[in-house]
Each structure stands twice: as structure tokens, then as C-alpha cells.
Structure 1
Amino acid sequence: MQRIASLAFALTLPATLLSQAAQADEPRYNQVALRAEVSQEVAHDLMQVTLYSEAQHSDPAQLASQITQTLNSAIQRARQAKGVKVELGSRHSYPVYDDKGQRIRAWRERAELRLESSDFASLSALSGELLGSLQMGGMHFSMADSTHQHSEDAQLKAAVAAFKARATLVTQALGGSDYRLVSLNLNSGYQAPMPRMGAMKAMAMAEAAPTPDIEAGSSKVSVSADGIIEVRLP
């Protein structure tokens, strides 16, 4: 029995040595978390204007008719402008009470008209013209969906390139010979524009509604790359 046991040990010993030798030849890796972020200022190429009609009358039916006529006239004029998207916004009415708050003395109604175009000069001139019958509700600028997508795609490629450059830099700093990618997450961000109040006030306060200078501004599109690499050490 002792002779058989010794023989079995002698047979398994070479296999153990081979396993240890194979492990010694395998590269040793160390994991490192990295982050790279790129961003780009993209000029706005869409202009949105909100105009509204607001009035008060003791007869709600006459009030509604008055608001409708004003809007229809503005819509017909807006549709003549090329490249301008026209749509109705919100519309609501509410009662106006007497000083004691017990009896309705009138009704007040407000209805919006929304305009959008990539031709800033044309939309600005149209808005100024419509201010003869409507009031300025708001003006802001943004990026078209296609512009945003194109910019985001370009930033995605740049973020991956920046991550690879940083991974190479870290590998060299650690004295590694190579690295392999474990995981990578890409996230995009978009900084929404602020309303351009200067132009809006200029149009709302001007008696003859002159066309203001347009400063559309820009928004920042950013993409970040977060991932983990394994650095191969000698």
C-alpha cells in the first residue's frame, strides 16, 4: 500500500510544477478607473417666439370671438412667411370678480401663438409686424435635433479618443507594457440655453416694433467616458 501511494505522488508532482510555471508566465494586471470628458459650444440654429392675445369683456362669448378673430388674422399673416412653423399655444379664460370677490364683473382670456424658424431675420421681422395686434410672450433659441445629434456623435468619437489617450498615459506612468479595456460607459449632456430677454424686451417695448439685432448664443454639448482598464505589468 505504501508503494502505491508513493507512485501516485510521483505522478502528480510534475503536473503541479507545470501549472505553477504556466501561472508564472501569465501577465499580471491591475485595474484602474478612468474618466475623460469633452465638450463643444454649438451655435443655436432655431428661433422660437411666443406671442399672445389677451383681452377682457363682460360677455364671454364676445370675448372668445374677439380673441379668435385676432389669432386667425395673425395666423394667416404668419403662414405667408416662408420657413416659419406656426402653431397655437395654450388658451384659457378666467372670471374677474368685483372688489368684494362675490360677483363676476367680467371675463379675461388669453391665447398664445407660437412661431419657429431657422431664418432669424425673417421670424424677427414677422414678430415685429404681429406686435401690432399681439403681445410678446417670450423668445428663445435652441439647436435643431439634427444639429444636436451631429454634434453629439462627433463628441462621442472625441470622448473615446480622449479615454484611450488617458489609458495609454496611465499605463506608461505605472510602468506597464499594455492595457486591456474592462468596461466603458458613455454619457452625453446638454446645457439648455437661457431665454434671450434683451431682444424680447426690445421688441415688446418698441412702439414701431423695429427688428432687433439677433444674438442667438450657443449651448454646450458634452460627452463623458467612464471606464475601467487593466494595466499589464512586467
Structure 2
Amino acid sequence: MRFPSTRIITHCAAQAVLCLLAFNVHAATHESPPALASGTRMTLQATASAEVPLDTVRITLAAETEAQSQAAASQQLAVLLATATKQAQDAAGITSHTGNYGIWPSRDHAGKINGWHGRGEIVLQSRDFAAASALATRMNSDVAISNIVFVLSRQARQAQEHKLVRQVAQAFRARALEAAKAFGFSGYRIAQLDMSGAGAVPPAPHPVPMMRMAAKADEVDAPLQGGNVVVSVSVSGTIVLH
């Protein structure tokens, strides 16, 4: 029995490789061409804002004690804060919570402890400025007003942001169309959008000196006015010009 020569086998293998290469080239010529660019893209941003009144007041009331021992200072402070907390809890339309609390020693020139100081806070919060002011005045015989700050409630912020959504959408569309025409295009389509909302934070209040006023029958509560804050909604996005 005769076997094919090495030359014949090599020739057949070469032919097989050539056929395979020819098939790959033929298949490559029938592949779809790469996708064309989707168009000229542009990134834009638009913002709508409105000035709204701060609708919530936070009044910080602080009690301070001095005693010869840490236990005595702590006990006196606890009594003052418990009384103030009870008054605050009984007030309608006003929420309250405890604030900072601390007991620390005082020292003489030699560094020896010669007494103890205590300080604790009660924070009132309300959208009724008059009621909060009246309560703070009544409580002022036991705890002193140390800080007043005005904020925008979450409900009011969300309500204003909802009003601004339509405005910012119109502003974005107008800016996109104006940009398209400015660069010689007839229109655009939106490829991506991102929306964010934020309210400008009013300046941080400076702590006021501890104020203690005797609550009298004819005493007039201090009027409170919160001022305004700017709420804004921004939209940034990518458009494709055509």
C-alpha cells in the first residue's frame, strides 16, 4: 500500500489555508459598516429660581448653673432643663428637642478645681413665629435665649421646587433651540437630562449674648421676622443638533 508523499500533503494543507482566508475576506466584505456619528452634541444648562420667605424659626434656650461639686451642678441643670422641656411640650404648634449639654470644672490660678459649671440647651421650632416668641418669653425666667435662626421647611421648599420645574424645562428648551439655530441647525433632540434642586443657605447666625428677661404681665413679645431665601432648580443636559 502506497501512502501520499509529504509534498502532496503540504500542497493540500496550503490549499485549505487559502480557502479559509478567502472565506474570511468574503465574509468581512459583507459586514455592516460602522455606525455613523449620531450628530453634533452640545451640553447646556438652565436654572429657574424664586425668592421665598423663611417659614420656620428655631430658638435655642440655654440654662447655666454653678456649683461646688459636679453632682450638684448636674442636678441643678437637670431640674432647669426638665422644667423648660415640660413647658415646651405643652405648647401647641411648637416642637422641641434638647441641644448641647455639658458639665466642666473651673480652676484657680494653681490649677486646682474650685467649682463646676453646667450648660444645657432646649431648641424650640415652629412655623408660628408669634407663638414661638411668646413661649420663649415665658420660659426666659429659667432659660435664656442664646440663638435664633430662621430656616425654610422641607414642605415649603418642595412646593416651590415643583413650581419651578415647568419654568426650568421651558428655559432649557428655549436655550437649546436658540443654540441650534445660532450654529446653523434647524432643531435638536434631547439625549440626556439631569435635574437638581437647591435652596441658597442664608448666612449663618451669630450667637447672641445670653439674654434673660423677667416675664411680666405687660411684657410685649419680641416680633420675629425671618427674611427670604432663594430656591432654585437647575437642569443640565446634552442635546444632539440636526
TM-score by length of 2: 0.76
**1:91 is the counterpart of 2:101:** yes
Report percent identity of matched pairs.
Answer: 28
Contact between 1:95 and 1:107, CA under 8 Å: does it hold in 2? Answer: yes
For residue 186 of structure 1, the aligned residue among 180, 185, 195 is: 195
1:157 equivalent in structure 2: 166
Alpha-carbon RMSD across the aligned residues, in angstroms, is 2.7
SS class of match (1:213): coil
Q: 1:229 to 1:154 in 2, by over 3 A?
A: same
Alignment of 1:1-150 (within 5 A): 29-101=39-111, 103-150=112-159
Q: Which whole-Å deviations, capped at 9, do the CAs of 1:10-54 have from their partners, x for residues lacking one?
A: xxxxxxxxx9xxxxxx99842222221111112111111110101
- In 2, Cα distance between equivalents of 1:41 and 1:149: 14
Match of 2:211 in 1: 204
The amino acid of 1:107's aligned partner reads W
In structure 1, what is the Cα distance between the partners aligned to 2:97 and 2:214? Answer: 26
Farther off after superposition, 56-65 or 113-122: 56-65
Give the residue type in structure 1 aligned to 2:163. Answer: A
Task: Name the count of aligned residue pairs.
Answer: 206
Q: 8 Å contact 1:86–1:113 — kept in the other structure?
A: yes
Letter in 2 for 1:139: I
Shift of 1:110: 0.5
Shift of 1:213: 2.2
Gaps of 5+ in 2: 1-31
Q: Which moved more, 1:109-118 or 1:180-189?
A: 180-189
Point out the more displaced range, 26-35 or 168-177: 26-35
Q: CA deviation at 1:129?
A: 1.7
SS at match of 1:204: coil
Distance verdict in 2 for CA 1:191–1:163, change over 3 Å: same
More helix by share: 1
One-letter code aligned to 2:110:
K
Gaps of 5+ in 1: 1-18, 20-25
How far is the alpha carbon of 1:205 from its aligned partner?
A: 6.7
Match of 2:175 in 1: 166
Cα contact 1:156–1:186 (8 A) shared by 2: no
Alignment check: 8 A CA contact 1:42 1:218 kept: yes
Alignment CA distance shift 1:124-1:196 (3 Å): farther
- TM (normalized to structure 1)? 0.78
Counterpart residue identity of residue 181, structure 1: I
Distance in 1, matches of 2:115 and 2:37, equals 85
- Offset of residue 66 of structure 1: 1.3
Query: Corresponding residue for 2:22?
Result: none
For residues 163 and 225 of structure 2, what CA distance do their matches in structure 1 show? 25
